[in-house]
């Protein structure tokens, strides 16, 4: 194991899967069966292999089987398990479940190994080296709404999970910076700010109101504004300098606004907006036409998709659209950026668009069969709802200003924190700056966690009260749990680094072992979260980890007990894993609370 440190280790589940797979091929030679291994629910073991039952049904009727019942197969699977230092004991239960108990010594060693060589040794192993994560992707001059906030938060976590798994991630902000709305915006800029080249970005002010006002003008049938705007689009697309410059200016103002949100959230993104792919559209469409995929339909160019409406790639007026841009972007990501996995984070409402896009790419021969790379995946998410069950809005404006939302979370956190510290007489130990940084970390973490903890496919209800509660599955609760562990370790005033190499971990109490087992499961949970692209697996894990810790801490004395050093190491390992989870979720951990 020590030799494997640099390359990281194999997760517990993967190790067990290999053992079980080897047993299965000895038990039913020649049969290609997928191992079914899961964490035990019944409490007989730590993991259970469930292959016996389905194997029995598939063998039934074949003449050369000697198995009388599924349980007999279970027994054979057990007998054929290769010996391993990871397994403490095995048993067959019920109709044929094979229970596996992991060796306590092995768990302890694995934890100690991680403490010595770092959490990186528990990075998941995934079969790819480079991925594109297309997330956030707001539209210029239109509002960056809570949907984009979801995309930003979930996308950042997906990117962080991949990065931790040693995948090179191209974090792409596919901003809507191209399209017909720019004619209107440019024309409006010329009208409202004749000296627009000189005025600072600030003067133009809020782009949302700017967009709204120009749209009103555009929709007014009396004025000739609409015609002018349409001409402006053409002039922009022909590359006329004044129009390019105005377009650039509008994009810049939006960009400043977006940047402030990203900075606040600690999210890194590289903008490659729709305009970037514009030069690639024509050649890509030519390729698809040559391959016979593009047909004409009432003046538009379309790609027929089996079982779905067609994908329009050139509009009737000859213009390109969202789909043509996405085809070009996909081509670029596959051929120039050589990404093996390309994931897109948008609300589930765009599911069909991506389904059609990926189908077209498969028909073009860009994507291989389902189980091979490169792969594409639409990571959809539900709506953000307000407490009234409708789309989330604030009282005064139609949309929620993201920065205001974050400010609100922070200020509520601060009030809460001050109240708590005043109550328990600790307020004097805190500087203003500490209070501020802590509330920022907890508040922003709470907003992120409230979003990430749900299965992303469902709608989620935005509630400050719920997300800022210090009870239940919230970031606030978890921050407290983590800070408490840190203070236990600190109070012992032992050199923890020295302990890590000199002392060793042993499990005496059942709750202690249960915590240890949960700690080492981090890697396989993360692996599954990366495979299924479900960050909430990680949140569920983090929450149950803190519960396992509470249970341990209730039944086992740490400081001052004969087991102190071993237990301190277990505390430390729990804190390290919790921090790594926070990190992957984009949450800044707090050490003192
Ligand atoms: N700008 C789009 C929107 O706000 C999202 C873009 C997602 N990415 C993509 N490649 N289509 O809905």
Phi and psi at 388, nearest 5°, equal -80, 5
4-54 tens-digit pLDDT: 445 578 999 999 999 999 999 999 998 899 999 999 987 789 999 999 999
The answer to whether ipTM exceeds 0.90 is yes
Q: Which of 193-202, 245-254, 312-321 has the lowest mean pLDDT?
A: 193-202
d(C-alpha 117, C-alpha 359), whole Å: 44
In order, the DSSP letters of 293-313 are -EEEETTEEEE--TTSPPEEE
State mean pLDDT over 465-480: 96
Residue of 147, 329, 332, 346 to test ligand 1 pocket, by largest number of atoms within 8 Å of CB: 346
Check: CB of residue 587 under 8 Å from CB of residue 452.
no
Q: Quick one: which atom of ligand 1 is closest to the CA of 329?
A: 10
Q: What is the mean pLDDT of residues 384-405?
A: 74
Is residue 284 within 8 Å of 315, Cβ to Cβ?
no
Residue range 236-259: average pLDDT?
92
**Nearest residue by C-alpha to atom 11 in ligand 1:** 326
- Residue of 134, 137, 276, 320 with the most ligand 1 atoms within 8 Å of its CB, for mutation: 137
Average pLDDT (225-247) is 93
Return the minimum-mean-pLDDT range out of 135-139, 143-147, 332-336, 588-592: 143-147
The pLDDT tens digits of the residues spanning 400-431 come to 677 888 999 999 999 999 999 999 999 999 99
pLDDT(399) > 60: no
Q: Give me the pLDDT at residue 1, please.
A: 42
CA–CA separation, 46 vs 67, rounded Å? 26
The CA distance from 273 to 182, in Å, is: 14
Q: What is the pLDDT of residues 276-297, one digit of tens each?
A: 999 999 999 999 999 999 999 9
Which residues surround ligand 1 with Cβ inside 6 Å? Answer: 134, 137-139, 174, 176, 326, 329, 344, 346
For residues 167-183, give the mean pLDDT.
94
- Determine the atom of ligand 1 nearest the C-alpha atom of 176: 1
**How much is the pTM?**
0.94
Cβ atoms 462, 385 nearer than 8 A:
yes
Q: What is the mean pLDDT of the chain?
A: 93
**With pLDDT > 70 as the criterion, what percentage of the chain qualifies?**
97
Given a contact cutoff of 8 angstroms between Cβ atoms, the answer to whether 52 and 36 are in contact is no
Centre of ligand 1 from the C-alpha of residue 387, in Å:
27
CA of residue 328 to ligand 1 center, whole Å: 14
pLDDT-derived band at 2 (thresholds 50, 70, 90) equals very low
Residue 270 confidence (pLDDT) above 90: yes
* Nearest Cα residue to 384 out of 370, 374, 394: 394
More confident residue, 336 or 58: 336
């Amino acid at each position: 194991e020590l030799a494997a440190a640099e390359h990281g280790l194999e997760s517990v589940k993967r190790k067990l899967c290999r053992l079980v797979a080897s047993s299965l091929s000895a038990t039913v030679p020649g049969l290609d069966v997928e191992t079914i291994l899961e964490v035990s629910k019944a409490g007989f073991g730590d993991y259970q292999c469930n292959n016996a039952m389905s194997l029995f049904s598939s063998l039934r009727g074949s003449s050369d089987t000697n198995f009388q019942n599924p349980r007999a197969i279970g027994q054979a699977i057990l007998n054929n398990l290769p010996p391993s230092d990871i397994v403490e004991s095995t048993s067959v239960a019920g109709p044929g479940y094979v229970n596996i108990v992991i060796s306590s010594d092995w768990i302890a060693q694995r934890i100690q190994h991680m403490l010595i060589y770092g959490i990186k040794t528990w990075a998941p192993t995934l079969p790819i080296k480079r991925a594109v994560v297309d997330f956030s992707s707001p539209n210029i001059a239109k509002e960056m709404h809570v949907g984009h906030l979801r995309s930003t938060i979930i996308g950042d976590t997906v990117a962080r999970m991949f990065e931790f798994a040693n995948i090179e991630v191209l974090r792409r902000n596919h901003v809507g910076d191209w399209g017909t709305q720019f004619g209107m915006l440019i024309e409006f800029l010329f009208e409202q700010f004749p000296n627009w080249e000189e005025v600072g970005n600030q003067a133009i002010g809020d782009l949302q109101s700017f967009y709204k006002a120009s749209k009103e003008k555009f929709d007014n049938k009396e004025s000739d504004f609409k015609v002018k705007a349409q001409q402006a689009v053409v002039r922009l697309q022909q590359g006329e300098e004044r129009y390019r410059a105005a377009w650039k200016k509008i994009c810049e103002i939006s960009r400043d606004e977006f940047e402030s949100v990203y900075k606040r959230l600690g999210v890194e993104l590289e903008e490659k907006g729709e305009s970037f792919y514009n030069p690639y559209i024509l050649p890509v469409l030519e390729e698809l036409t040559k391959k016979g995929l593009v047909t004409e339909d009432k003046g538009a160019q379309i790609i027929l998709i089996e079982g779905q409406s067609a994908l329009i790639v050139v509009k009737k007026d000859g213009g390109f659209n969202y789909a043509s841009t996405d085809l070009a972007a996909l081509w670029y990501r596959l051929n120039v950026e050589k990404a093996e996995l390309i994931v897109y984070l948008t609300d589930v409402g765009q599911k069909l668009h991506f389904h059609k896009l990926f189908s077209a790419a498969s028909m073009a021969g860009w994507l291989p069969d389902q189980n091979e790379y490169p792969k594409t995946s639409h990571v959809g998410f539900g709506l953000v709802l307000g407490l009234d069950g409708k789309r989330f809005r604030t009282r005064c404006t139609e949309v929620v200003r993201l920065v205001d939302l974050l400010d609100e979370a922070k200020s509520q956190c601060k009030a809460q924190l001050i109240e708590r510290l005043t109550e328990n007489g600790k307020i004097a130990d805190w500087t203003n700056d500490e209070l501020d940084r802590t509330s920022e970390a907890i508040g922003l973490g709470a907003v992120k966690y409230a979003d990430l903890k749900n299965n992303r496919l469902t709608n989620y209800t935005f509630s400050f009260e719920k997300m800022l509660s210090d009870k239940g599955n919230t970031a606030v609760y978890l921050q407290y749990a983590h800070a408490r562990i840190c203070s236990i370790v600190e109070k012992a005033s032992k050199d923890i680094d020295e302990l890590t190499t000199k002392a060793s971990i042993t499990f005496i109490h059942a709750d202690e072992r249960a915590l240890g087992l949960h700690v080492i499961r981090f890697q396989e949970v993360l692996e599954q979260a990366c495979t299924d692209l479900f960050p909430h697996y990680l949140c569920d894990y983090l929450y149950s980890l803190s519960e396992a810790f509470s249970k341990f801490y209730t039944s086992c004395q740490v400081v001052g007990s004969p087991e102190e050093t071993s237990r301190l190491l277990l505390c430390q390992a729990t804190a390290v894993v919790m921090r790594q989870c926070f990190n992957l979720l984009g949450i800044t951990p707090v050490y003192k609370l």
